[in-house]
Each structure stands twice: as C-alpha cells, then as structure tokens.
C-alpha cells in the first residue's frame, strides 16, 4: 500500500462505510463533512456535538483525521463517534477524499 491516499477509493469508502451517519452536505447522525478538512472541531452550526468535541479546538488536517479515524475514543475521550477505520490505507483514502472537499474529481 502506498503512503498516498486515493480519493476515488476514499469516495467509495465514504459512501459505503460513513454514509450511514454522515453526508457531505447535510448533518444527520453525524455532522456534514464537506469542508471538514481545515475546519475546527465542533463548528458546524446547529449540530449537537459532544462537549468533548465542542471544546477540543482541533483543526482537522491529515494528522488529526488520521488519529481520529484510527480510534476516536483514544484520541478524544467523551466523543459520540462509535466507528473507527482500522486499515491505514483506507484512512489515507478517506482523508484524501475529504481533503479534496468530498470530491474525487480533483484526482490526478
């Protein structure tokens, strides 16, 4: 597995594994994720974040998303996300997809 994420695979993973709770454009059980890369944690207006996430002041980037997707509870105890991504390549693919704003179209 390469060290670079593939946004096309990331998009497929997002739809298959994240879509039950998240959408890119609307908040559902989880907050909307379009534009999450570079956004501060707990900042989607109107979404009922856990106190832990609202107060964390995390800037979502490759490093913080890697830690979050590896084990949300270890990274930020008290959050409400019950899901993790155990495979490193899948995390890289998801992060690359999110970094591109939730679009695989920017893939080169």
pLDDT class for 108, splitting at 50, 70, 90?
A: very low
Cross-strand bridge partners of residue 59 = 40
pLDDT, tens digit, 9 for 90 and up, residues 41-91 = 999 999 999 999 999 999 999 999 999 999 999 999 999 999 999 999 999
40 φ, ψ (degrees, to nearest 5): -80, 145
pLDDT, tens digit, 9 for 90 and up, residues 81-98 = 999 999 999 999 999 999
Question: Is pLDDT at 107 greater than 50 in this prediction?
Answer: no
pLDDT class for 23, splitting at 50, 70, 90?
A: very high
Which residues does 98 contact at the CB level (< 8 Å), separation at least 6? 10, 14, 33, 36, 37, 60, 65
pLDDT class for 3, splitting at 50, 70, 90?
A: confident
Residue-level pLDDT at 104 = 63
- Give the mean pLDDT of 2-31: 93
């Amino acid at each position: 597995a390469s060290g670079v994420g593939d946004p096309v695979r990331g998009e497929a993973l997002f739809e298959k594994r994240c879509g039950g709770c998240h959408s890119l454009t609307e908040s559902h059980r989880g907050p909307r994720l379009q534009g999450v890369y570079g956004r501060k944690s707990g900042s989607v207006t109107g979404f009922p974040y856990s106190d832990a996430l609202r107060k964390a002041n995390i800037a979502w980037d490759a490093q913080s998303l890697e830690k979050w997707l590896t084990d949300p509870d270890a990274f930020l105890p008290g959050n409400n996300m019950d899901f993790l991504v155990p495979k490193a390549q899948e995390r890289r693919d998801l992060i690359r997809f999110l970094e591109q704003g939730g679009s695989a179209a920017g893939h080169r």
